[in-house]
Amino acid sequence: MASPRAVQLSLRKPTHAVCVVGVETLVNVYSDVPKGAKTFGVSGSSEVKIYMVYDPSRVAEPAGWAHWPLDANVDMVVVADTVSQDLHDFKVKVSYFESQEAAALAHSVLYLTAVDVSLDVDTGRTGKVKKSSGDKKTWRWGPGGSGAILLVNCDRDIHGSREDLHANHLRSLEDLQDMSPMVLSCGGPDELFESHKLVLKASLSDSRRLKVFCARGGTSLSNYKQVLGPRHSSYEVERHSGERTIQFYVEGLAFPDASFSGLLSLSVSLVDTRPLSEVSVFTDSVTFRVAPWIMTPNTQPPLELYVCSVTDIHGRNDKFLEDMSHLATKANCKLVVCPRAENRNDRWIQDELEFGYIDAPHKSFPVVFDSPRNRGLRDFALKRILGPDFGYVTREIELAGASGLDSFGNLDVSPPVRVGNIDYPLGRILIGGSFPKPSGRRMARVVRDFLQAQQVQAPVELYSDWLSVGHVDEFLSFVPTSDQKGFRLLLASPSACLQLFQEKKEEGYGEAEQFDGLKHKTKRSINDILADKHLRRDSAHVQKCIDWNREVLKRELGLSESDIVDIPQLFFLKGAYAEAFFPDMVNMVVLGKYLGIPKPFGPLINGRCCLEEKVRSLLEPLGLRCVFIDDFLFYHQLLGEIHCGTNVRRKPFTFRWWNSVP
């Protein structure tokens, strides 16, 4: 609310003023005082509450019919508690006296017209607009916080068009559900609005990031007129005779980013048009925060599993699709196959997009984040996923093209964690980069800035530039568990693999061969692998890189060693960068308790793969089910695995993001 404004009184003629119901109006009792007056008294209509503001150390409240002193800085405030039926129908009289017993020297009369002007939104975050006289301008985080929430209208309710936010008119009534309601109260005598107007405004910068539609009821789209937006930062409200409230709908046009905090403000002003220079009588303001884009970790239940149908020199990947279908059935998850005509033989669907969602008290829907890699799948999200209640967002890299680290295999998110005294109830985003190296590949700033600006999943940058592809999903994954912790972090571990092979050698299985069962790969015995100095040297280097990340993850996610499971995995160096020696088992797809793990083709001990048996022994006691799937020809040989070639849309968090405190 605006601070009280002062009304000047006159002894010569009555004063007329407009006030807003429930809002204090300061009356200047010193503006025209008769000579000799030492005190004053006040009376008024029953609809007007009159208050005196004074310093109790300087003046005592008069008793009975006593008057207030004029020399003690006593201020008078009036508040109307109901709307006027006619112009000037409320009265306040100020009488001036020389002494307590003497008759009044003179009187000042104030006639008030009280109007109801208020701009209201869902500040209580209940999904409903309630009228409020509190602070609507300040947006507060946390369970006791307040402030309205705005969704970016990034879905597409009408087929064959871009996101709804690009339209300059309402395209369907369903689209109103994606917007935040806002109500303007405008009760008062119709005659008043012949000399006063209501003006709805946004700052120039805010008007580029929102649109406001005025609703006049009915089922016709023509009843909903865009009144504010990128080309219109001010709107003179069309108030109809007798109208007491006007309904508006507000949509967001932009997600928080480096140059945008996510806060947007709107105001309405009651303006007196009679003076040569128009005068604002009262202004009410509201502030929205644009809902952030939120990622979902592997611990959230799966809803849809996406995979691509492709063909290469080995034929069609039908067997892999069949295996994915069986896995999805076990997990009670829908399988979505992207056909070759839509993926243009690009199988790396994890690299192309990341599923998340946006959430407001009145509406939530999934939003796909399209990466800037722009290969064969570049149109898939926009053309096939974007739709009713399924939004789309992307970030493009200006001038320079995308690097491998801009693919979303290099983007992950942890489960909810507590780090010291700080809670991250929606987890923390993980991306890979070149740190601690002084230079190297990093995820593009435009993507990093976007992720950081969402605030609710504070990103952690890991070291992934030691890998040829350079993605975090090549050395880590999270899996859900049924114990109190709720999850485990899986890390690829060359040391664990070499230790396992050493144990098998000592048990007499040194001649058992890696890649047993593969036709297109030279087999290597456990003895040969353990004797390979180059492979051991490469493994030591990779372990050092992973251990650096291990310490960062423990520190930034508040993890202990018991929260981490080391998955046996070997790497070799090709030039300065590492590649998986056999299918990379941490690069798995997680569907609830079912894990689709790349089949490692490890040495067979008593007819069973010792690598698979080791992983089962580590994970199945946690309530997980390991399903090993052959991805060697279609994925591993192309420097990717199952996680790279799949994508999962998951159930959103039940925790509401505005209850967090970033």
Nearest to 268 by CA among 180, 189, 196: 196
Residue type, 589: V
Give dist(CA 214, CA 199) in Å, integer: 13
- Known active-site residue 89: no
Please tell me the total number of residues recorded for the chain in this structure: 662
Query: The tokens of 550 are what?
Result: 């291990």
Give dist(CA 255, CA 151) in Å, integer: 9
CB 120 within 8 Å of CB 146: no
DSSP state at residue 104: P
Residue partners of 150: CB distance under 8 A and separation at least 6: 180, 210, 250, 251, 252, 264, 288, 289, 290, 291, 360
Query: What helix, strand, coil percent values describe the chain, rounded to 5?
Result: 20, 35, 45
Residue type, 379: D
Rounded to 5 degrees, what are φ and ψ at 322? -65, -45
Give dist(CA 163, CA 158) in Å, integer: 9
Residue type, 383: K
Rounded to whole angstroms, what are the CA distances from 353 to 157, 164, 378, 410? 21, 20, 9, 11
Catalytic entry in 473, 538, 566, 584: 473
Give dist(CA 272, CA 527) in Å, integer: 92
CB 78 within 8 Å of CB 92: yes
- Known active-site residue 362: no
Give dist(CA 514, CA 300) in Å, integer: 35
Long-range contacts, stretch 538-544, CB < 8 angstroms, 24+ apart: 538/571, 538/572, 538/573, 538/578, 539/494, 539/495, 539/497, 539/498, 539/570, 539/571, 540/494, 541/466, 541/573, 541/578, 542/466, 542/494, 542/571, 542/573, 542/578, 543/493, 543/494, 543/495
Reduced to 3 states (helix: H, G, I; strand: E, B; else coil), residue 180 is: strand
Residue type, 587: N
Catalytic entry in 471, 497, 631, 636: 471
- Known active-site residue 351: yes
Catalytic entry in 122, 351, 370, 631: 351
Element at 594 (helix H, strand E): strand 594-598
- Known active-site residue 308: no
Known catalytic residues? 351, 471, 473, 644
